[in-house]
Amino acid sequence: MNNDGQATESPWKRRFLILFMITVGLPALVGLWLIKRFGGDEPVDYASPTEHFKYGSTGGEHEMGFPYWIWRALPEVCPQYLPGKGYQSLGMVYEKNPDGSDRDVPVGTSMRRFQGIDRVFVNCAACHVSTVRTAADKPPTIVLGMPAATFNMKGFEEFFFRCAADPKFSKEYILPEIKRQGGELDLLDRYLVYPIAIAIMRDRVLALAGRFDWVFKQRDWGPGRVDTFNSAKVIFNFPMAHLDPREFDAPADFPSIWRQRQRKEPKEMQLHWDGNNTTVEERNKSAAFGTGTTPPTIDIARIKRVEAWIMDVTPPAFTDFFTIDAALAAKGAPIYKAYCATCHGASGSDFAGESVGQVEPLAKIGTDRRRLDSYTYTLAVNQATLYAGYPWRFTHFQKTHGYANMPLDGLWLRAPYLHNGSVPSLRDLLEPAAKRPKAFYRGNDVFDPVKVGFVSTLPEANGRKLFRLDTTQAGNGNGGHEGKAYGTELAAADKMALVEFLKTF
């Protein structure tokens, strides 16, 4: 009977099983597969703090991230919108693979897999890392925490805006380029995921391009600079067309970000070029906007890792690259102490000084006023609404009326000088404005150890076209920080000694 019993029972059992599979099992499996394929939302993490700084996430890829393979393909799809080959031509810094080729993404970009696609976006290092060469035929050294002196941020933004508006920004052009570069997209990627991603990215970038329209209307910033707070106004939906034009064309040099602890303890300094914020943590979160994060997507834990690292990181010494004439530097030390120390601190590592971290009124310092005027009271009020309801809501932004007396750590790597990078070398800064270069080239990473600054007389470096900064244009003024108090009336020999001393910073 057993056999019979089974024969009558088993079709039902089988039918039930099949039914179960169709109604529950299969969808569950598909669901699991879909979760595996499209779920998950973790950035690539790095154990070492320096790798995290170079390639770690601050949360930006989440909303703004470019699908990895589209990012890779675009320089070949839209080469006409780049000054040369690849993102390298915009001065982005690439590390080498062991075989000597460039790594696939530059320093200053992070990755995350989200909704089934690897995404790439910029992080802090895009604006706070660069390279130095001791001579044109020498290899570059990557320096973390220095201003991104070669990175052309406006060129970078415009590249995406222009490419997205080009008919070639379509799957017909992008997918074959991905294939050519060896991108292994599976069937689903090729026929569904990437075509949709391309369409979405195009819409998003074009929408952003519409909002950032004013960027196109501004004069080029050139490498190493960004119009910080006018960009912020766009993000707050300020009516850009109706603002006072004197707020515009306000490019600011990327600053260095070493030794943050000493900017916080024993007292909090007023920082940012105009000293509009006194807390390191708020500046970091504000900076994170530059990496595409928004209140819901900002990755506080991962930004904290960067924050912790920049607290005590120090700049490389001038003597790691060149030599210093110790006797001459010793002659410069008392001159520095007499003229500069109250405003800039005792040395490159000791920031003690009566007015360090305070704002010097514009009437006294006399440097270009655009960056100061670009930061308005209305913007400060709007920033105070940021992160409203979060414990880390911004409360320390304020409108000031001058520029901050900042410490000069790692000074040699911070050229060109002043907040708008309008003076190419330390030696030039010690001349009165009338004798400083009227125009010069920015973006070279070859260093001039005599004048102390990057070589600024050549229109090209390593095949990269450099940017001619014309100091007669609005926002580029090279005046101010001159007169007896600022050392511009010292004798030539004293200026040489002072410059030698500043190399020790």
Nearer to ligand HEC, 126 or 163 (CB): 126
Of 220, 230, 127, 218, the closest CA to residue 470 belongs to 220
The distance of closest approach from Cβ of residue 203 to ligand HEC in the complex, given in angstroms and rounded to an integer, is 23
Nearer to ligand HEC, 75 or 332 (CB): 332
Which of the stretches 112-120, 125-133, 165-173, 381-389 binds ligand HEC when contact is defined by CB under 6 A?
A: 125-133
66: contact with ligand HEC by CB under 6 A = no
The distance of closest approach from Cβ of residue 18 to ligand HEC in the complex, given in angstroms and rounded to an integer, is 55
**Cα–Cα dist 255/410, whole Å:** 11
**Cα–Cα dist 283/411, whole Å:** 21
**Footprint (CB under 6 A) of ligand HEC, residues 166-225:** none
**Footprint (CB under 6 A) of ligand HEC, residues 385-424:** 403, 405-406, 408, 411, 414, 417-419
Matching residue, tokens 């125009």: 439
Nearer to ligand HEC, 177 or 247 (CB): 247
Matching residue, tokens 């810094």: 93
306: contact with ligand HEC by CB under 6 A = yes
Of 305, 345, 355, the closest CA to residue 125 belongs to 305
Residue 91 neighbours by CB under 8 Å, 6+ apart: 148, 149, 150, 151, 152, 223, 443, 464
**Cα–Cα dist 437/248, whole Å:** 24
Of 53, 60, 142, the closest CA to residue 93 belongs to 142
Of 434, 432, 445, the closest CA to residue 490 belongs to 432
Measure the N-to-C terminal CA separation of the chain; round to a whole number of Å: 97
- Using CB under 6 A as the binding criterion, the count of chain residues that bind ligand HEC stands at 48
Residues in the chain: 505
Binds ligand HEC (CB under 6 A): choice among 117, 146, 201, 257: 257
Nearer to ligand HEC, 174 or 340 (CB): 340
Nearer to ligand HEC, 228 or 347 (CB): 228
**Footprint (CB under 6 A) of ligand HEC, residues 78-117:** none
Binds ligand HEC (CB under 6 A): choice among 315, 410, 453, 487: 487
- Measured at the CA of 468, the angle between CA 465 and CA 474, to 5 degrees, comes to 145
**Footprint (CB under 6 A) of ligand HEC, residues 328-367:** 339-340, 343-344, 360, 365, 367
Chain positions contacting ligand HEC, by CB under 6 A: 58, 122, 124, 126-128, 153, 226, 228, 252, 254-255, 257, 260, 271-273, 280, 283-284, 287-288, 290-291, 303, 306, 339-340, 343-344, 360, 365, 367, 403, 405-406, 408, 411, 414, 417-419, 426, 429, 481, 485-487
